[in-house]
Amino acid sequence: MDYQIFALGDVVLQRGATLRNARLAYQTYGRLNAEKNNVIVYPTWYSGQHVDNEWLIGEGMALDPSKYFIIVPNMLGNGLSSSPSNTPAPYDRARFPQVTLYDNVRLQHRLLTELWGIERIKLVVGWSMGAQQTNQWGCLYPEMVERIAPFCGSAKTAPHNIVFLEGVKAALTSDAAWHGGWYDKPPTTGLRAVGRVYAGWGLSQPFYMQELWRSLGYSSLEDFLVAYWEGFFLPKDANNLLAMLWSWQHGDISDNPVFQGNFKQALAAIKARALVMPGEMDLYFPAADNAWEVAQMPNAVCRPIPGVWGHFAGGGANPVDTQFIDDQLKELLAYE
């Protein structure tokens, strides 16, 4: 087992369900120093797990485990933390409860404070839904979080993003084998359809025009659709995907008892030095939305990741983008 489990006990979720014997799976990189002032939190993204974050961690990089104690908490629903696929009846599978951004971050906060007694965080950083959790950290725990670096994400899921996800959901649930979530065998037709719907959104128009999938080792456009996109979603659990999709569609850092829906107030509460990095051509987390958010935050800069990799600019697949992100993170970590 290449990760640890933090037993959360019985957790009352924001929307009312009690998740009994809830678990938060996490992995750490590096060592917590005696002063407990070298902590970085790096939440996961839609369907990603801690290992999928490791491309941004390494000696000599900004997220250097020889300097920092890097904690990667797995998002609820991702198959390692409490999820439809691993929760016993009666909250199993299609009955897994609705989990919010607020739930995820509160539970991560418990991990840090209860397990290690951490009081200060040097940096919270994350991609996509990980960026959303990063923003949630920033406004919920402003005295604790010194810096945030959300990339290719937002502080509130935009209506168009919700619509894009409706298409993903419809493609999956059109497969009768999904059976309302009570499948015994995976709804493979629907999972493949998710891959095909997602393919157009994940990368930009010029990415495809320039056939940059070749740089990833695919031999044709159709090969990229099958070998990468269908291959990516086929092994995922459909109910897990739908649970995380619900969390994403309802992602809003102000939708909680603290901010009660006041989005501007939540953004203004992010006191941390914030480095916000949209993908210049991201189709579902548009750079323009981040520019607006940054204008509401007291100590933030917006630095778009240039180029044509769209949302995947933040996915670790393109070395140039990874270099850009790493350089920016180094600058942010040097900022006092």
Cα–Cα distance, 264 to 180 (Å, whole number): 37
- Among positions 51, 94, 162, 301, the unique one binding its own copies when judged by CB under 8 A: 162
Tokens of 209: 């025009």
How many other C-beta atoms lie within 10 A of the C-beta of residue 180?
9
Find the catalytic residue in 50, 85, 311, 321: 311
Active site residue 82: no
Which residue's CB is nearer to its own copies, number 43 or number 190?
190
Residue 60 interacting with its own copies (CB under 8 A):
no
Cα–Cα distance, 74 to 5 (Å, whole number): 10
- Among positions 38, 78, 204, 322, the unique one binding its own copies when judged by CB under 8 A: 204
Residue 246 interacting with its own copies (CB under 8 A):
no
CB of 224 to its own copies, least distance (A): 9
Own/partner contacts of 226-231, CB < 8 Å, gap of 24 or more, are 228/195, 229/195, 229/196, 229/198, 229/199, 230/191, 230/192, 230/195, 230/196, 231/195
Residue 255 interacting with its own copies (CB under 8 A):
no
Active site residue 128: yes
Active site residue 250: no
How many residues in the chain? Answer: 336
Residue 117 interacting with its own copies (CB under 8 A):
no
Which residue's CB is nearer to its own copies, number 142 or number 167?
167
Residue 103 interacting with its own copies (CB under 8 A):
no
Query: Exposed/middle/buried for 54, CB within 10 Å: 0-12, 13-18, 19+?
Result: middle
Residue 171 interacting with its own copies (CB under 8 A):
yes
> Which residues lie below 8 Å from residue 308, measured CB to CB, with a gap of 6+?
203, 204, 206, 207, 210, 212, 280, 281
Q: Would you please indicate which residues are annotated as catalytic (active-site) residues?
A: 128, 282, 311
Q: Which residues bind its own copies (CB under 8 A)?
A: 158-164, 166-167, 169-177, 189-190, 192-193, 196-201, 203-209, 211, 221, 225, 283-284, 286, 288-289
